[in-house]
Amino acid sequence: MAGIIYTELLKLRKSIIPWMILLGGTLPAVIALLTVSSESGAPNRDMLFINSLNYMNLISLLLVAVLTGYIFAGEYYGKTINILFSYPIPRLAFFINKTIVTLCSVVFIYITLNVSTIVVGYIYMESIPTADFLYKLLGFSILAVLINFSLVPLTILVSIVAKGAAASTAAGLAYVLTYFCFSNSGYAVYIPVCAPNAILVEYFISGQIDINDLRNMLVTALITFTLALISSMGYYSRSDVQ
């Protein structure tokens, strides 16, 4: 298993993906800085992080979808899927390891974001976050990673059924469209693409999340993740290869 993960990471290192992760994790911090600096009054560190995470939760819908498509459908695009499945290794082993690599990518995106925002905040405001603020930042980042990752199996399913990475980009655009349609509705916490931003401001101001919102958010994400994971694993392990 470790060998497959290492091979997948090597493939990513030689691609444009690391640059996409770096750019995707840095861009929200820069946009947030521009937003905060354009507002009247003294720059607010909390609003810098809130805006940065807000932009990240939106951008990551498309970014993670593109990454997922590349990881899972790259062999279809490169016409090497037959070679991959000719190895004496169960298809599900490839599936599990690719999923782990995708999770690592999502984690690295949010690490890059938080580091970038801390650096930007220090350079522009000469302010270093307190330990309490970093604790809240870590808690929300973990939640955002989990909710974002709950969409990955659905993107995998779309990619492998279409046998192309372009389908994952279409899925990502659909996630973004769903976000704009429902992010301000009363159902936002029930929709994984909207859920993180639905509780973002409340969490950073009060340091707490309404237990009902958290439960609804996690239950919906778990149902989405489980159903899509079972479907994508079944299709990946049994589908014909061209």
Residue-level pLDDT at 135? 86
Boundaries of every domain in the chain: 2-238
Residues in the chain: 242
Mean pLDDT (whole number) for 118-135? 82
Segment 36-53, tens digit of pLDDT: 887 766 667 778 888 898
- SS3 for 89-121 is CCHHHHHHHHHHHHHHHHHHHHHHHHHHHHHHH
Helix (H, G, I), strand (E, B) or coil at 132: helix
Residue 15, H or E segment = none
Burial class of residue 24 in the structure, from the number of CB atoms within 10 Å of its CB (0-12 exposed, 13-18 middle, 19+ buried): buried
Q: Is pLDDT at 58 greater than 80 in this prediction?
A: yes
Q: How far apart are CA 127 and CA 75, in angstroms?
A: 46
Give the pLDDT band of residue 224 (cuts 50, 70, 90).
Answer: very high
Residue 10, H or E segment = helix 2-13
Which range of 2-11, 122-131, 220-229 scores highest in mean pLDDT? It is 220-229
Mean pLDDT (whole number) for 100-121? 90
